[in-house]
Amino acid sequence: MTSILELLRCEFRKTRRRYLIAAALIMTVLQLCWCLYGECTEEIVTHGWMLFLYQFPLVNAIFLPLLSMMIASGLCDIEHKGTMLKQLFTCTERNRLFDAKLLYGLLLITACVLLSWMVIVLYGFLHRFEGPFPLKLYLLYFLFTLCPTIMIYLIQHTLSILFQNQTIPCFTGIIGTFCGVFSMFLQNIPWLRKLLPWGHYGALQFVGMFGWTKETRYEYVYFETMHTDWLFFLALILSACLLYLIGRNLFSRKEV
C-alpha cells in the first residue's frame, strides 16, 4: 500500500507542470504588494506594529480564501479528468488519498501564510517601526490567521474532491469570501463573523483602533488589544476536526 510520503511526492510531480506552487506564491506576493506598496509615512512608522495587526485581518479575509480555493481546485481537478480516480483507488486507500491531497494543500497554505508573516515583520524592522517588536502578539496573529485558513481550506478541499465540476467549489469560495468580508464591516452583528468560516478572521481580530477621525486622522489614534474569545477558538478547532471526518467519510463512499 502506498505511503502518505509517496503520495505527497506524487502530488508534487503532478502539480509541478501546472505551476500551482508558482501561482500560490504570485497570489501571496500580490497580497503583500497591495498592503505594503507605497510610501512609508510617519504615521505608519509610529503605529506600524499595531497598525498591521489591525489592518491585515481584513486583507487576509480577501486573499487567503481565494488562495485556498485556487489550491484546492488545482489539486483535485487533476483527479477528475478521465479515470484517474479509479486508477488511484486500485493502488491506495481512499482515505489515504484524501489525507495526502489535503496535507499537500495545507503545506502550501502554511508556507504562504508564513511567507507573508515573515515579510510583514521584516518590513517593520527595515523601516524601523517605533517601539519594541511585539513578538507575542505577532505569534498570536500568525495562529489566528492560519487556523481560519485551514478551516476554509477544508471546506474547499472537500467540495473540490467530491464534485467533478469545479464551478461549485469556486462559486462557494467566492460567495463565502464576499460574505466574510462584508461581515467584518458589521460591527454590531458579531455573531455573523463567528457563524461564517470566511468571517473568522474578523472574529479572531484582537487589536482595535480608536481615536481616528476624518479631520484629525492619526493624530489622536491609539491601539488596544481586545479580549480574545478562546472558547470560540476551541470551537473552531473542533469544527475543523469534525469537518475533516465528514469530508473523509463522504469521499470514502464516493462513486466513480
Exposed/middle/buried for 101, CB within 10 Å: 0-12, 13-18, 19+?
buried
For the ranges 190-194, 201-205, 220-224, the maximum mean pLDDT occurs at 201-205
pLDDT in tens, 66-82: 999 999 998 888 777 76
pLDDT in tens, 139-172: 999 999 999 999 999 999 999 998 888 889 999 9
pLDDT at 136: 94
Confidence band of 189 (pLDDT split at 50, 70, 90): confident
Q: With bands split at pLDDT 50, 70 and 90, how would you rate the model's confidence at 83?
A: low
Question: At which residue does the C-alpha cell 462513486 appear?
Answer: 255
- As a whole number of Å, the end-to-end CA separation of the chain is 20
pLDDT confidence bin for 30, thresholds 50/70/90:
very high
pTM of the model: 0.91
- The larger pLDDT score, comparing residue 225 to residue 41, is at 225
Stretch 202-210: mean pLDDT: 88
